[in-house]
Amino acid sequence: MVRIAILDITRCKLKRCSKECYRFCPKVRSNIEAIIFEESKPRVVEALCIGCGICVKKCPFSALTIVNLPDELEKECSHRFGPNAFKLYRVPTPSQGVVLGLLGQNGIGKSTAIKILSSEIKPNLGNFSNPPEWGEITKHFRGSILQNYFLEMSQDNLRVVHKPQYVDRMPQVFSGKVCDLLEKLPKADKLDEIARLLQLEPVWDRTLDVLSGGELQRVAVAAIVCNEADVYLFDEPSSYLDVKQRLEVARVIRSLKDENKTVIVAEHDLAILDYLSDQICLLYGEPGAYGVVSQVHGVRAGINIYLQGFISDENVRFRKEAIIFHVKPPTISSGAGETILEWEKLEKSYAGFTLKAEPGEVKKGEVVGILGPNGIGKTTFVKLLAGLEKANKGRTSATHELMVSYKPQYISSEYDGSVEELLRDVGKDKFSTSWYNSEILQPLNVKKLLDRNIRQLSGGELQRVTIAACLSREAQLYLLDEPSAYLDVEERLSVARTIRRMIENKNATAFVVEHDVVAQDFIADRLMVFKGESGVKGLANPPTTLRFGMNDFLKEMRVTFRRDPTTRRPRVNKEGSRTDRYQRKIGEYYYIAETSK
């Protein structure tokens, strides 16, 4: 078994210790000495590590770990970025007239695979010091669809367009108006229909530098779809979008299949990926160290395999525990029943926007999910409950004075200090307990970030730390606004599970604003559905049952869900399918009769 040692320099305190972590192991000593203060992020220390584990046991700061590499896949290495750098095994296999979805954790190689297929990265087959030519690359993939794919690419006969992961960089590439960008594209005849579906009319004459993240995302998708190409690649097309926008983007992307195009999509929203894809490739491994691309699976089987954590045809287990969904909406804890907060008919007005909320109440021990389009007043309502905003009409009332813990929608890294200092300050004496370690640090995967400075964290890392800080506070009411932003599938479901467990254990109450329908299904006891006109007026309906709320919301979205018989996860029905037509006929948009009994 080939092994590598990973050194997290942010946790390393070599200036304060006797370098015991590696002085006993001459195999890795030279590498560690060379990079020890090179940069402030985890690095792979490779070469001659024998996996003895001495360095791991000797380091008192848990800065070193040993990772086993799949040596049986060495012949299938597709790309290596350099010495002590990430390694990708295999490449997803595209097919004409098929939408292929990529599913995996952050840092596991999805974006790298897409860049290889878009020719932004030329695969070096692991030989970074002497990269092979196209002839050797096509020979390596002989006997597969990829051989012809890379042959066409090497001869410039393959037209590929790629929507990158980070759309906020678009204004740096193009500085004009939205109309100037889109009207120059080849498929101008489709532009009016796509602009209508993606709601681009309000931003048509605006410059890209003033657009929000969601607006940039929709413009980027429109720009790719209106291009003339053989292969269309989309990296996380649902980021920054609400549920309705995600579904419309999914419909637009899937329409490329009707033109017999090759489409590949990397996505974290399981419902959208399920709706979009015909086939699935899973990516597993060690984030930041190596990633392995699985063989192609059907969309249902592929997502179920990912949730179960075991690929039977490759005999690989990449997760210890399976992710299980509730057959029915989760039951409220035994302590639930006492009303903790209620509100009258509320009204909050701004210049050009008005939010009205119907009277409602919440009880101890329940999680209330909030669903609705962007710009409809969800964040405003949460701020009213948090006391950060005051209503123009109406008021809220609690049975006693409530302590509130609030995680805002837009998180910042203004705190000047380490993650541990922040969580110690918030969690007080609880921070040092085994309960805190097992209930917050480990489930949210925050433990290895404790020595990192808040300002050095990525978006996903900062999100997890902010959620941990919110749940660490002693409160009776927890308000979390879009906690799954920047997180991958496993992190989203782990966050949902942690929130549920904390609310039940504390017998507290939580409101969770979330656009991921699968995450809402996993976490919520009841739902509040927001309707209205984005940016103009919003109406907050009172909390209702998960089934009724989802039915109401999905009917508005013009989509139906069913339950997977194996994992019980919600699945989006393909439009016009027999199940879709039947559920619309009986008015069951969320639960089919079998699971609603």
Q: What does the pLDDT look like over 166-224, one tens digit per residue?
A: 887 888 888 888 998 898 888 878 888 999 999 898 889 888 888 888 889 999 999 99
- pLDDT at position 455, please? 84
pLDDT of residue 39: 41
- What DSSP line would sit under 584-595, residue for residue? HHHT-SS--HHH
**What percent of the chain is modeled with pLDDT above 70?**
85
pLDDT category, 425, cuts 50, 70, 90?
very high
Q: Give the start-to-end residue ranges of the domains of the chain.
A: 2-69, 73-309, 339-544, 558-597
Confidence (pLDDT) at 173: 82
Q: How confident is the model at residue 301 (pLDDT cuts 50, 70, 90)?
A: very high
Rounded Cα–Cα distance for residues 253 and 264 (Å): 10
| Predicted confidence (pLDDT) at residue 566 exceeds the cutoff of 80 | yes
Report the distance separating Cα 511 and Cα 526, nearest Å.
Answer: 10
Q: What is the pLDDT of residue 29?
A: 46
Is the CB of residue 477 less than 8 Å from the CB of residue 402?
yes
Q: Is 46's pLDDT higher than 70?
A: no
Q: Quote the CA–CA distance of 14 and 28 in Å, as a whole number.
A: 15
SS3 of 462, please?
helix
Q: End-to-end alpha-carbon separation of the chain, Å?
A: 51
pLDDT band at 49 (very low <50, low <70, confident <90, very high): low
How far is residue 183 from each of residues 102, 172, 187, 201, 227, measured CA to CA in Å?
31, 19, 9, 13, 11
Rg of the chain in Å (alpha carbons): 25
Tell me how far CA of residue 413 lies from CA of 135, 213, 491, 513, 579, in angstroms: 48, 19, 20, 21, 46
Whole-number Cα distances in Å, 63 to 26, 34, 151: 18, 16, 44
Contact predicate 191/197, CB 8 Å: no
Helix residue ranges, H only, 257-376 = 270-276, 299-308
* Separation between Cα atoms, residue 481 and residue 485, nearest integer Å: 9
> In this predicted structure, what is the pLDDT of residue 373?
87
Mean pLDDT of 85-91: 89
pLDDT tens figures, 307-342: 999 999 888 898 888 887 766 544 444 445 688 898
Inform me whether the pLDDT recorded for 51 exceeds 70: no
DSSP 345-372: -EEEEETTEEEEE--EEEETT-EEEEE-
Task: Kindly tell me if the per-residue pLDDT of 32 is higher than 80.
Answer: no
What is the structure's pLDDT at 382? 92
Mean pLDDT over residues 448-456, rounded? 85
Question: What is residue 50's predicted lDDT score, i.e. its pLDDT?
Answer: 62
Lowest mean pLDDT among 34-48, 178-192, 301-315, 487-501: 34-48
- Which CATH architecture does the domain made up of 73-309 adopt? 3-Layer(aba) Sandwich (3.40)
Length of the chain: 597
**Averaged over 157-164, what is the pLDDT?**
93
Task: Quickly name the fold that domain 339-544 has.
Answer: Rossmann fold (3.40.50)
Question: For residue 38, is pLDDT > 50?
Answer: no
Least confident of 288-302, 317-331, 501-515: 317-331
- 339-544 matches 2-69 in CATH topology: no
pTM: 0.82
Q: Which of 202, 274, 259, 201 shows the shortest CA–CA distance to 226?
A: 259
d(CA 378, CA 372): 7
Q: What is the pLDDT of residue 107?
A: 87
For 2-69, CATH gives: 3.30.70
The 8-class DSSP code of residue 331 comes to P
The 10s digit of each residue's pLDDT in 229-242 is 999 999 999 888 88
Q: What is the pLDDT of residues 52-75, one digit of tens each?
A: 666 777 676 666 677 766 667 878
H or E segment and range at residue 104: strand 99-104
Higher pLDDT, 597 or 308: 308
